[in-house]
Amino acid sequence: MEVEIIYLCFFAFLAGFIDSIVGGGGLIQTPAMLILLPHQPIASLLGTGKLAGISGTAAALLRYRKNVQIHWNNILPTAIAAFIFSFIGARAVSAIPTDKLRPLILILLIGVAIYTFWRKDFGSLHAPRLTATKEKLYGMMVGLAIGFYDGFFGPGTGSFLMFIFIGLFGFNFLAASVSAKIVNVATNLSALLYFVFTNQVIYHLGIPMAVCNVLGSSLGARLAIQKGTGFIRVFFLIVVTAIIGKFAHDSFFKN
């Protein structure tokens, strides 16, 4: 078990690093847990992963907060709606087969990647285009949809949030990244509370993983702040491409 913890901590660190910049850390951490702990219940692995993930996301958010202006009045309604509907999505997951969503999500992610690659100036300037009232209204609608999706299925949530904050709200990549972190903390907290109260968190694994996730997230957020939007854009495209590859594999090549 000691060897497994070392490997899990390494992947938690790597997941935190990537997630703090553009999201998508779950693509690394969750498969690693499934491979290294094949005999553990999946729900317990998901709960343990949420404990590690939310710790790193919160740490990254604290670092971003010191360097990036956060419009809490507009983002908070999005986070609250996401929190509520993430729990609803988690409860609904048993009623609908998630595999039915894979082709649709795959198409959406390919569209996100093509548009981001094609629009070289996408996310390079921070020019909010909505009034405060519309930001709150649209934010609640985004929180409703993305929150439900994250609780119900999850992969690609961070990438979708960043794309929406840039394309709809007019944020640059750095502002979109920190806004996505706020919403992700809300959705992860909602799911984590469910797992904690149903005793589906392996704390002796989750706590050291959380520490490593925090270390990775802090380093990633620091690099993102130093390098700016161009660096985040490249990372965004890499992670979205990786998500597309995983979805394509799961959709067409799995038995």
Nearest to 183 by CA among 94, 74, 88, 101: 74
Query: In the predicted model, what is the mean pLDDT of the chain?
Result: 83
pLDDT: which is higher, 55 or 156: 55
Helix ranges (DSSP H) in 68-101: 72-92
pLDDT of 135: 87
Res. 234: pLDDT tops 70? yes
Burial class (CB in 10 A: 0-12, 13-18, 19+), 212: buried
User: Three-state SS for 95?
Assistant: coil
Q: Which of 159, 231, 181, 176 lies closest to 62 in space, CA to CA?
A: 181
> Closest Cα to residue 83, out of 185, 154, 179, 177?
185
1: pLDDT strictly greater than 70: no
Closest CA to 195 of 63, 2, 54: 54
CA 143 to CA 225: how far, in whole Å?
25
Q: What is the pLDDT of residue 119?
A: 67
Per-residue pLDDT at 8 exceeds 90 = yes
Spatial contact of 16 and 56, defined as CB atoms under 8 Å apart: yes
Question: Can you give the pTM of this predicted structure?
Answer: 0.78
What tens digit of pLDDT does each residue of 81-139 get? 999 998 888 777 656 665 666 676 677 777 767 766 776 665 556 667 778 888 899 99
What is the arithmetic mean of pLDDT over 4-21?
90
What span, in angstroms and rounded, lies between the C-alpha atoms of 20 and 221? 5
pLDDT digits (tens, 9 = 90+) for 71-90: 788 789 999 999 999 888 87
Which range has the worst mean pLDDT, 10-14, 166-170, 185-189, 232-236? 232-236
- Mean pLDDT over 142-168 rounds to 82
